[in-house]
Structure 1
Amino acid sequence: MEHEIIHKLTPEQEELEKKKAELAVLETELAEKELNLVTFQAELSSFENEYMRVIGIRYTELDRIEAQIEEYIAFLESDRDFKPSLELKKLYREVAKKIHPDLATDDEERQRRQELMAEANIAYENGNLEKLKSILQDWENSPESIKGEGISFELIRIIRQIAQSRDRLKSIQLEITTLEQTELFQLKTKIIEAEKVGQDLLADMANELDKQINSAMKKLKELKTKFG
């Protein structure tokens, strides 16, 4: 009578299989949440475009603010004297040493490293020490930073992927909550509710702004006439 040989998994192998299953569930949930977020952002962006087409064009305040922003940026660029501290230089070297694209083992990893280096370069140019620290810490905690073969190394990478997925899920929820608290989303909600009772709130707002613009133009004309 033949006996089948049953290969029993080691504790590490069992744990790895559990973590793989856990990661698979998280990745499915994450894909759905990412879709929800992108859809939400697209719908809000579409509404914003319509709002700017109907209402935004009537506001001249934006031009004034943008002009001030341009002046401020021009002033900063002309007056800026870049003097990086020794700590900033040291930290940048450490970041470059660990995440430089030339250290990549495949195209996907190279792309990731290039993006991080671009962020690090901007942070360095802006003297942003905290951002550099954050980039370095995120890399050191990432699955990509774990090199090596075998169950132990794979298990560590899977655990870190799980942690990243959980963090991203929290981040997505925070992004959605933040968007829901914006004035733009609140206005969109009001307009949708108004449409249910046959009211075009956007058109009403445009008409009111037109009245204000006409009134202001009339006053300006009177002042021009008064002062010649």
Structure 2
Amino acid sequence: MNANSPTHARDEPGTERLEKAVRAAETALIEYEIAVETFRVEVENFSRLHHQRLGPVYARLDELDAQIAEAVAARTGDPEDVRKAEEARGAVLPMPRVEELFFGWIDSDGMLPEAQAMLNEQPVQPPSRVRPSEEARKAYRDLVRKAHPDLVQDEAERTRREEFLVRVNKAYVEGDAAALAALDEEWEAGPLPEPLAELLRGEELYARLEWLARRKESLTEVAAELEQSAIGAMMKMAPDDPDALLEEIAEQLLGQVAERERELARLTETEQG
């Protein structure tokens, strides 16, 4: 080989190891994104199902607390008991919340998923359970690994993948294993992705690693916010089966309702006697 000939980028010291580091970082980032998105979906589903299933029970508890406080105040006539009764009744009849003013279409975090679906003329399908089935979870992970936009350099291909993953995410949020299976068939039958562009060398590889690190930092912040939220903290009590936790909470609340009803009945009987 001519000593004066330029050294090809492939032969630059350390470049091959740097390429491997970039590929490993890309794979790790995708796996982390999948984990964070999976947790986000479960937190959102838990919140929605908690509101849908247990909202009426909480309302019943508030009403019973107000009736008990009113019965105590009527019996004692104590000003402090009267104040407590008025306070309890006020909790049952709060000022309208944002979602009530907008007929359940919006809350403090923005448009509810059901409202967005209706405005986009999509079927409204609230989640049936907190954690999608294992079949749906596996299909979701496999599709994201195959179609993730960060695996390609070409902008047109990135756009195609981003649009495809929007549909994948929607199916996963709904826990629709059949839709995910159909999307997997569509991906396999669709146009083959362009060959991966040859990784850039040297300084640009370092820039890619820095971008991947920044992206992971932002995902870590999202994960921390989810874990520190009220619903996230609640779900950490039963990480293996959040659906069972929801049922356990419902059972405890129903027990509290029965206890309050017995207390109210005793107070009413005493007053009549």
Normalised by the shorter chain, which TM-score bucket?
Answer: 0.3 to 0.5
TM-score, normalisation: structure 1: 0.43
TM-score, normalisation: structure 2: 0.37
Structure with more of its chain in helix, by fraction:
1
